[in-house]
Amino acid sequence: MSNAELTFKDYPFLKELGIEEENEGVYDGEWFGSGEYFTTVNPANNKPIARIRGGTAADYERCIKSMQATTVEWQATPMPKRGELVRAIGQEVQKFIEPLGKLVSLEMGKILVEGRGEVQEFVDICDMAQGMSRTIGGQVLPSERPEHFMLENWNPLGLIGVITAFNFPMAVCGWNAALSLICGNAQIWKGATTTSLCSIAITKIVDRVLKKMNVPPAIFSLICGPGRSIGELLIQDKRLALVSFTGSTNIGTRVSTSVHSRFGRTILELGGNNALIIMDDADIDMAVRSALFAAVGTCGQRCTTCRRLIVHEKVYDEVVDRLTRAYKTIKIGSPLEEGVLCGPLHTQSAVKEYTEGLKRIQSEGGKIIAGGNFLGTNGGNFVEPTIVTIEHDKPIVKEELFVPILYIIKCSSIENAILYNNEVPQGLSSSLFTRNVGNAFKWIGPSGSDCGIVNVNVPTNGAEVGGAFGGEKETGGGRESGGDSWKQYMRRVTSTINYGKSLPLAQGINFS
C-alpha cells in the first residue's frame, strides 16, 4: 500500500501526538522495529490512516533484555518516588486529552465524549496510584515466641506483560501500568494491532516523562505487530512473572493455560454478557436512560455493555415502548462529530458478527423490534443498534455478541430476575433498578448477582477507578484498578525476626 493512499494528513491532531505517516512500533527507551509494515484504518470509512513497522521475536528479546537491565535501579527507587513518576505521567497525558480522545475516536470508533473519557481514566488511575505509593504496607503480626517479631513485606514481581484489547486502547494500559510501576515492576505492553497508533501515542508521552525524570525508560516498553506471534512470546515467557490480558474468553483460556502451566500469574478481563434488571417499583425514566447508554455506548463494544435487559412483567410493555422510541432518536455517524451517540463497529468482521448473529437469533425464536440493519454509510462499519425480544433460556443468550444487540427478557419477581442474571457463564457486570431496599440488599448479597460488579440504580457500564474492576466465572476472576489490586503486582513475604538470645520454636516444639 503506497503512502498516497493514507489519510494521515486529514487529521492534523496526529502530528500533535508525534504520529507520522510511517511509525516505528517497538520501544525500549528507543524507537525501532524490524518487522513488517502494517496499517491501521478508520472504522468510519475503512480507509488507512498510517503505517506502523511491527516487532519481531528478536525485537521482543531486545525489549526484555532492556527491561532486565532496569530492575536493580528501579526496584531500589523508593515507592513514593515511583509514585511521583506516575503522577507526572498522568499530568502529561492530561495535557493531551483532546488529541488523544480524538485518536481513540478515529482509530477505535467510539464517540468523542467517550474517547475523552477513556483518556481521563488513564489520568485518574495515575492520581490514585500516586496516593497509594505513600500508603501501601504490610501487616505487623504478633508472634507466639518470646523476643520474636513478625511482619508482612511486599516486594516487586520484576517483569510483567500487558496485553490489551481494541475497545479500550489506552485506559486499560493505564490501569495496569500505574499500579505496576509504583510497585517497582517493568512492563512490556502489547496493544491491539488495530489500535496501534493509540499505543504509540501514549508511549511517546510516557517516553518524554521518563527521560525528563531520568528514569530507566525500558520500564515502559512497547511492542506492536500483527498476528498472534508477539502475544505468544509474552504468554510463554517465564521471565514475565505476571501477564495481564484483556480480550475474549476463548483467547483468555489459552492465556490462562499457558501462563499457569509455567506457574506464572494472570489478570484476566474476559467476556461480559451483562444484565440490567428493571423491577416494577423502579424509576422507569432513569432505568430506560441507563439501559440506552449501557446498550448503545461504544456501539455495544464495551465489556460492560448491557446485553440482556430483564424487565418485570408489570412494567414490561411500558419499558419496551419507551426504549424502542428512544432507539429511533439515536444519531449514528462519524465518532469525531459532536452530537453523534453511536459510532461504527470497529472492524468488518464485527459487522459479520452482527448480521450473522441476528440470523441466528431469529432462528431461535427471537424477534427484532428495533434496528436490525447494516448501514455501511461512507463505506464504514455502521449498523443500527438493535432490540430483540427473546426467551431467557435460548442458547445464543448465553453467548456474548460484541455488537449493539440488546435482548429484552420478561421476569415475574426479583428471585426470577436474579436466576436469569446468573444463568449465563460470564460474570462481569450487573445492575438492578428498584426502590425496594430489600431487593437491593438481596441483589448485592450472597444469594444475589454472581458478578464482580453489582450495581443498584446505575448502568452496567461506567466504572470508576476507585473500585476494583473485574468479574467471576468465564470473565476470568481478575481485578484491576482500586481496592487492593496492587497486591497482584507484588510478591508477598512473611518475615519472622528473632531479636533475642534464645531459639524457641513454634508450636512449643523442643528439639534439643
Catalytic residues: 269
CB atoms within 10 A of CB 207: 18
The residues, any chain, with a CB within 8 Å of residue 56's CB and separated by 6 or more, are 34, 35, 225
| CA 62 – CA 54 distance, rounded (Å) | 14
Query: Which residues lie across from 469 on neighbouring strands?
Result: 480
| CA 306 – CA 297 distance, rounded (Å) | 9
Report phi then psi at 84, rounded to 5: -65, -35
Do 439 and 312 touch, CB atoms closer than 8 A?
Answer: no
Query: Residue 22 is placed in which grid cell?
Result: 510511517
Q: What is the DSSP letter of 369?
A: E
- For 381, half-sphere exposure in the C-beta direction (CA atoms, 13 angstrom radius) is 30
Do 29 and 208 touch, CB atoms closer than 8 A?
Answer: no
**How many Å is the maximal CA-CA distance in the chain?**
86
Query: Which residues lie across from 310 on neighbouring strands?
Result: 277, 409
Name the 3-class secondary structure at 345.
coil
| CA 369 – CA 365 distance, rounded (Å) | 13
Question: Taking the C-alpha atoms of 15, 196, 118 and 289 in order, what is their torsion angle to the nearest 10 degrees?
Answer: 120
Name the 3-class secondary structure at 193.
helix
Do 219 and 181 touch, CB atoms closer than 8 A?
Answer: yes
| CA 325 – CA 332 distance, rounded (Å) | 15
| CA 325 – CA 17 distance, rounded (Å) | 41
Query: Which residues lie across from 495 on neighbouring strands?
Result: 151
CB atoms within 10 A of CB 367: 11
* Rounded CA Rg of the chain: 24
Tell me the pairing of strands 242-246 and 265-269: parallel
Tell me the CA end-to-end span of the chain in Å, nearest whole number. 80
